[in-house]
Amino acid sequence: MSEVKVPAAAVSGRSGSRLLSRLVQQRATLFWAAVVLLVVLAALLSPLLSPHDPLKGNIREGLLGPSADHWLGTDKLGRDVLSRLLYGARVALLAGLEAVGIAALIGIPLGLLVGYLGGWPDRIAMRIVEGVMSVPFLVLAIALISVLGPGLTKSMAVVGVVYAMTLLRLTRGQALAAREELYVDGVRVAGAGDRRILFRHILPNITPPLIVQVTLMIAGAIIAEATLSFLGLGVQAGQASWGSMLSDAQASIRESFFLALPPGLAILLTVLAFNQVGDGLRDLFAREAKGGSLGVNPVHHESGSGQPPPPGLVAADPLLRVRDLTVSFPQPGAGRVTVVQGVSLDVAKGEILGLVGESGSGKSVTAMSLLGLVPDPGRVAASAVELDGRELTGLSFEELRKVRGGAIGVVFQEPIASLNPAYTVGDQVAEVLREHEGLSRAQARARVVELFEQVHIPEPDKRIRDYPHQFSGGMAQRVMIAMALACRPRLLVADEPTTALDVTVQGQVLDLLLELRAETGMSILLITHDLGVVADVADRVAVMYAGQIVEGGPTEDVFRRPAHPYTEGLLASLPRNVRRAGRLPSIPGVVPPPSAWPVGCHFADRCPYARPQCLETPVELSARGDDRATRCVRAGELTLAGVGDVPAAGEPLPPAAGRPVVKADPPLISTRIEKRP
Amino acid sequence: MKTTDPGPLLRVRNLTVTFTERRSTPWRRPGAVTAVNDIDLDIEPGGTLGLVGESGSGKSTTARAVLRLVRPSGGSIEAAGFEVGSFGRRVPIAYRRAVQAVFQDPLGSLDPTKVIGDIVAEPLGIHFGLRGRERDKRVAELLDQVGLASHHGGRYPYELSGGQRQRVNIARALAVEPKLIILDEPVSALDVSVQSQVVNLLEDVQERTGVAYLFVAHDLAVVRHASDRIAVMYRSRIVEEGPADRICERPAHPYTEALLAAVPDPDPARQRLQRERRRELRAAAPAAGPRPATGCPFAARCPHRMPVCAETFPGWTPVPDGGRVACHLFGGEGTARPSDTHPDYQETSR
Ligand SMILES: Nc1ncnc2c1ncn2[C@@H]1O[C@H](COP(=O)(O)OP(=O)(O)OP(=O)(O)O)[C@@H](O)[C@H]1O
Ligand code: SF4
Ligand code: SF4
Ligand SMILES: [Mg+2]
């Protein structure tokens, strides 16, 4: 899902047809696009469609009401209103195209150039743009036209130049951002010159926002034309334009109120249609850009198989008990795909359970679904999710929110991104306390300092006044942990808590987790892709692959004697700090996407031990010994290699404990320096 | 040039890169960050140098300076016979042919509006003027070399998995038959099971083509596997350098030691030892002090800190089993003996 970072591929090729199919779902945009199309047709075909000459009329037939001959009646000079309206569409569109065309021709190339070059050309261009844009648009246009003289072409050229400033600024901003993108470095290193980078790579990537802006600008230009024509600065007197029609109507408003309606409605509808299409396009491109929003998704209750999961995944004294958890997302063209299939597991009181798997295996979705935090179109169901005996399925989102942050604390991967940059960290933690525990301001503050001490943030009473960006990654993660601990949770859900941190800092955060567990007796559900982290802190491990738990049991046993071929492959392919012995073992192929999961064993196409029977029927989890579970039809016959079996020839063990702890004192220098004789 | 002088393929001397920070407020003077401070690097033709260090230590900036994507403020870079410092705004096309790159973010480094075939074909057109059938044939060959099928050529980058995208990046780099490829965290964004596929692919390519690598990564275990030599960077400085196995088995610099102790091992028994070691080192570290403006960059965290450490940056001392270390513990002129000073790393512990 997070794969969908593809705003710009919007423009051509197969992604274009995908965009089209998405457009079809945007009914409103389609409707307004049809309106635009009608206006365009009216403009193009006005000579054919018009029943009368728009410029000639019989003054004796002035101000007639609608009739069979004159559907919309006639104006004061007896000219047919419908014909004038149709010709007016032509004027409006031509004016819009002229202004926007000029704006695009000036604004886009200049914007690209100054955005890409930066430096002084950029600064000069931006000063000019700011100067021009600081004057109200119409005032500027009227001032210029009064110099140049009236006339539609001239006045729209002026409008175009003013609009060019807006486009220039937009293009420049987009180009500036695109210039920093890694793919630009990529093509530059490939040998592409500036012109190629600019027109072949950056321009196609920034086209979508430009299209949106240009569409909205046409609407603006149509209004500008009408306004200027109304004021007599646009079309020549007598010519049919919606603006001049309005002005005529105004002149005879006492005699006929009706005359103002057709041009007024035409302007309103056309402008509205262009604006709606522009907004629709923006939505369309934006939807390409993000996968979906974080939404609210309570866990639905659904009766499961009733089968208890095998040992290895169950605990005698569970704090968290999950049964038959299933999560699905709608996928275009494929109905719903199930990304987590029937996950059952327990977390015992005071236990750290490691949930490992590669990206796309469903480990994060599993954890987030327990908290009601699955992104929006997702659907979560389970036969049971019990926290300390309390059933969480069927709870409303509001009730779940109380549980989360109360009995369950959460820590995410990106500590700094998870904190609000606009508030001090102290205030953010205090807010949690005041909301969930109802503490007063002073009480909350005292407790925050206490929490910061608990997670070893130095000088807590000073640091609570700092903002997130003033913290390093490791310290920010401590703040997140402090926040998660605020309401003394029974269960801490930590999703890749150390992945964004440096290894030396990672060690400190893991030590902190171990220490907090010992202090508070809480349980931890630790989600990670790093087997080293699991080996470090987890008592038990559950391995996920392609939406299913494939193996579970005590960490040490599982890693020494894996019972599933995937666990074996994962352990073997992990680069370790050992002397090189040929190529790294690896698992061939890639994790298949959810829509391609087979009925049988999900791992079959990558498994070196696969047999035809593996693909026949769904593979169930089965017990192995009295504390292990595995999902492999050949589990009984296979003997798999674990970490102890890694050839470690010639490698020294890590330094033994008991090495004298060295204090930061100078005398040591004598023992460490070996002067050459 | 290179044929007459069979020196290193890449020779970096006293490289320094300084960024001026954007002013937060107009009346404040813009600050400067020295991202890379006076570093030296050498890579032999066909060799691999691993560059490790924590985030923000200046690894990527070093890589980008060699690629001329940032301008150094001091020092010299000689690569594949070119003096990089002499380039103006335009980098000679021949340099782009000799030195290629693969970046950390496999998706971000591919133009989202182009299909894979066009992405791989682009350098073929630029450098060799290949067109039409001939070019398509070469694209198919390149895709095949990195283990992709020719039907991938018609896909967009977002339609591939992370590992496949990184293969595309490698294919594009290989298209021009470069002498040196800068790999900036080439596998960090990939899943474990795919990571090793890509490391192996890089190794195959090297065997077949004799290309040299600068392998930048934060994961010491990956770097050890992929490199002949390793340079360890800490806060803009290189603090230790030497043969990969020596660095990883008998580190001399206290920072390298801390880094090694932090590398988690999936073997729970070994990891327990690692954890003890990690805690021991941390217990011995002084309470985090301010980072000295001059002197050893590790002084704030170093268990062996001495008064002199805060004042001057230590000079280089050779290490017996290869390489050298910049740490006051090893004096200036003497020879460091990490195996003497670290009893636990002695041969007997094998
Ligand atoms: N364009 C820039 N402007 C200002 N500062 C920069 C810029 N690029 C990098 N830096 C700073 O230079 C320092 C070194 O950055 P660099 O990207 O080289 O680190 P790194 O070792 O590659 O880290 P990582 O492992 O996170 O990729 C950091 O402090 C960084 O914030
Ligand atoms: S069921 Fe068959 S394919 Fe699946 S893991 Fe077991 S042996 Fe491999
Ligand atoms: S120079 Fe001093 S502070 Fe730096 S690593 Fe060596 S002993 Fe530690
Ligand atoms: Mg980097």
Write down the ipTM of this complex: 0.80
Whole-angstrom Cα distance, residue A79 to residue A239? 11
> Looking at residue A287, what is its pLDDT?
55
Nearest neighbour of B103 by CB, restricted to A182, A506, A588: A182
Task: Write the burial class of residue A511 (CB in 10 Å: 0-12 exposed, 13-18 middle, 19+ buried).
Answer: middle
* Per-range mean pLDDT, top range of A312-316, A452-456, A563-567: A563-567
> Looking at residue A7, what is its pLDDT?
32
Whole-angstrom Cα distance, residue B335 to residue B309? 18
Judge whether residue B142 has pLDDT over 90: yes
Give the SS3 label for residue B162.
helix
> Looking at residue A291, what is its pLDDT?
37
Sign of CA dihedral B57, B60, B63, B68: negative
Judge whether residue B130 has pLDDT over 50: yes
> Looking at residue B1, what is its pLDDT?
41
Chain B environment of A180 (Cβ under 8 Å): none
Whole-angstrom Cα distance, residue A624 to residue A606? 23
Tell me which of B265, B327, B341 to substitute to probe the interface with A (most A C-beta atoms closer than 10 Å): B265
> Looking at residue A309, what is its pLDDT?
86
Residues facing B76 on adjacent strands: B13
Confidence of residue A607 (pLDDT cuts 50, 70, 90): very high
Tokens of A246: 């309005």
Chain A environment of B115 (Cβ under 8 Å): 13
Whole-angstrom Cα distance, residue A323 to residue A661? 48
Give pLDDT tens digits for A391-425.
988 888 778 877 877 888 888 877 777 777 778 88
Pocket test for ligand 2, best of A634, A638, A640 (most atoms within 8 A of CB): A634
| Average pLDDT rounded to a whole number, residues B252-267 | 89
Interface of A with B in 333-362 (CB under 8 A): 358-359
In short, whether B342's Cβ falls inside 6 Å of ligand 3 is no
Chain A environment of B330 (Cβ under 8 Å): 672-673
Q: Which of A51-55, B129-133, B236-240 has the lowest mean pLDDT?
A: A51-55
> Looking at residue B320, what is its pLDDT?
87
Strands B10-20 and A628-630 come out as unpaired
- Asked if B218 and B55 count as a contact pair (C-beta separation under 8 A), the reply is yes
> Looking at residue A17, what is its pLDDT?
60
Tell me the DSSP string of A299-346: EEE-----PPPPTTS--SSEEEEEEEEEEEEEETTTEEEEEEEEEEEE
Sheet of B10-20, strand order: B32-43, B10-20, B74-79, B82-83
Q: Is A114 left (phi over 0), alpha (psi -120 to 50) or beta?
A: alpha
Strands B237-243 and B229-234 come out as antiparallel
Of the bound ligands, which one is closest to the alpha carbon of residue B300? 3
Confidence of residue A305 (pLDDT cuts 50, 70, 90): confident
Segments making up each domain of chain B, as ranges? 251-350
Confidence of residue B239 (pLDDT cuts 50, 70, 90): very high
**Shortest Cα–Cα distance, B179 to chain A (Å):** 14
Confidence of residue A320 (pLDDT cuts 50, 70, 90): very high
Whole-angstrom Cα distance, residue A9 to residue B107? 13
Judge whether residue B335 has pLDDT over 50: no
Chain B environment of A14 (Cβ under 8 Å): 154, 156
Give pLDDT tens digits for A23-52.
776 788 889 999 999 999 988 988 888 888
| CA A394–ligand 3 middle distance (angstroms) | 59
> Looking at residue A647, what is its pLDDT?
44
| CA B70–ligand 1 middle distance (angstroms) | 11
Judge whether residue A226 has pLDDT over 80: yes
Confidence of residue B27 (pLDDT cuts 50, 70, 90): low
Judge whether residue B32 has pLDDT over 90: no
Confidence of residue B188 (pLDDT cuts 50, 70, 90): confident
Tokens of A209: 């926002």
Question: Do A663 and B303 count as a contact with CB atoms less than 8 A apart?
Answer: yes
Question: Do B265 and A583 count as a contact with CB atoms less than 8 A apart?
Answer: no
| Average pLDDT rounded to a whole number, residues A267-286 | 87
A404 secondary structure, DSSP code? B
* Per-range mean pLDDT, top range of A29-33, A296-300, A373-377: A29-33
Which segments of chain B are extended strands (E)? 10-20, 32-43, 48-52, 74-79, 82-83, 99-102, 180-184, 212-217, 229-234, 237-243, 316-318, 324-326
- Helices B192-209 and A565-573: crossing angle, nearest 10°? 50
Q: Which of A296-300, A634-638, B212-216 has the lowest mean pLDDT?
A: A296-300
Nearest to A242 by CA among A269, A219, A262, A256: A262
Residues facing B51 on adjacent strands: B216, B231
Whole-angstrom Cα distance, residue A420 to residue B177? 47
More confident residue, A283 or A12: A283
| Average pLDDT rounded to a whole number, residues A355-360 | 85
CA distances from B346 to A362, A653, B249, B256, B340 (A): 45, 11, 9, 17, 7
- Asked if A356 and A559 count as a contact pair (C-beta separation under 8 A), the reply is no
Whole-angstrom Cα distance, residue A618 to residue A615? 8
> Looking at residue A669, what is its pLDDT?
28
Question: Do A650 and B192 count as a contact with CB atoms less than 8 A apart?
Answer: no
> Looking at residue A177, what is its pLDDT?
86
Confidence of residue B212 (pLDDT cuts 50, 70, 90): very high
Q: Which of A480-484, A528-532, A643-647 has the lowest mean pLDDT?
A: A643-647
Sign of CA dihedral A263, A268, A272, A274: positive
How many percent of chain B have pLDDT more than 70?
87
Sign of CA dihedral A428, A431, A436, A442: positive
CA distances from A670 to A238, A665, B341 (A): 103, 11, 10
Nearest to A367 by CA among A467, A466, A495, A480: A495
> Among the residues of B210-337, which ranges form H helices?
220-226, 244-249, 254-262, 268-284
More confident residue, A61 or A192: A192
Quick check: B90 contacting A, CB < 8 Å?
Answer: yes
Q: Which of A410-424, A608-622, B240-254 has the lowest mean pLDDT?
A: A410-424
Element (H, E) at A630: strand A628-630
Confidence of residue B168 (pLDDT cuts 50, 70, 90): very high
Indicate the length of chain A as a whole number. Answer: 677
> Looking at residue B5, what is its pLDDT?
53
Which segments of A6-139 are extended strands (E)? none
Whole-angstrom Cα distance, residue A656 to residue A639? 31
Nearest to A318 by CA among A388, A407, A372: A388
CB-CB neighbours of B52 under 10 Å:
27
| Average pLDDT rounded to a whole number, residues B263-289 | 80
Interface of A with B in 621-660 (CB under 8 A): 643-644, 646, 650-657, 659
Q: Which amino acid is at B77?
A: I
Average pLDDT, chain A: 82
Confidence of residue B350 (pLDDT cuts 50, 70, 90): very low
Confidence of residue A237 (pLDDT cuts 50, 70, 90): low
Whole-angstrom Cα distance, residue B123 to residue A328? 42
Residue at token pair 């300092």: A449
Question: Do A9 and B172 count as a contact with CB atoms less than 8 A apart?
Answer: no
| Average pLDDT rounded to a whole number, residues B2-28 | 73
Confidence of residue A665 (pLDDT cuts 50, 70, 90): very low
Chain B environment of A591 (Cβ under 8 Å): 161, 191, 193
Whole-angstrom Cα distance, residue A286 to residue A10? 10
- Neighbouring residues of A251: CB distance < 8 A, sequence distance ≥ 6: A76
CB-CB neighbours of A210 under 10 Å:
18
Residue at token pair 């012109």: A195
Judge whether residue A279 has pLDDT over 90: no
Confidence of residue B56 (pLDDT cuts 50, 70, 90): confident
> Looking at residue A14, what is its pLDDT?
45
Give the SS3 label for residue A411.
strand
- Asked if A475 and A454 count as a contact pair (C-beta separation under 8 A), the reply is no
Whole-angstrom Cα distance, residue A221 to residue B59? 51
Give the SS3 label for residue B100.
strand
Sign of CA dihedral A286, A287, A290, A296: positive
Whole-angstrom Cα distance, residue B223 to residue A577? 9
In short, whether A162's Cβ falls inside 6 Å of ligand 2 is no
Nearest neighbour of B268 by CB, restricted to A535, A573, A673: A535
Judge whether residue A10 has pLDDT over 60: no
Q: Counting one residue from A and one from B, how many pairs have CB atoms under 8 Å apart?
A: 293
Tokens of A421: 């940059």
Whole-angstrom Cα distance, residue A319 to residue A315? 9
> Looking at residue A36, what is its pLDDT?
92
Name the CA radius of gyration of chain B, rounded: 22
More confident residue, A676 or B206: B206
Chain B environment of A503 (Cβ under 8 Å): 54, 218-220, 259, 262-264
* Domains of chain A with bracketed CATH: 15-53+75-290 (1.10.3720.10), 294-407+489-677 (3.40.50.300)
* Per-range mean pLDDT, top range of A199-208, A297-306, A318-327: A318-327
Confidence of residue A232 (pLDDT cuts 50, 70, 90): confident
Judge whether residue A654 has pLDDT over 60: no
| Average pLDDT rounded to a whole number, residues A217-245 | 85
- Neighbouring residues of A393: CB distance < 8 A, sequence distance ≥ 6: A299, A300, A301, A381, A382, A383, A384, A385
Nearest neighbour of B115 by CB, restricted to A7, A13, A576: A13
Quick check: B24 contacting A, CB < 8 Å?
Answer: no
CA distances from B221 to A32, A318, A577 (A): 58, 37, 5
Residue at token pair 């109380």: A402
A658 secondary structure, DSSP code? T
B28 secondary structure, DSSP code? S
Question: How many Cα neighbours within 13 Å face the side chain of A406?
Answer: 12
Tokens of B320: 């017996």
Q: Which of A282-286, A347-351, A357-361, A385-389 has the lowest mean pLDDT?
A: A282-286
Pocket of ligand 1 (CB under 6 A): B 19, 21, 33, 35, 53, 55-61, 218
Pocket test for ligand 3, best of B319, B327, B341 (most atoms within 8 A of CB): B327
Nearest neighbour of A643 by CB, restricted to B266, B275, B303: B266
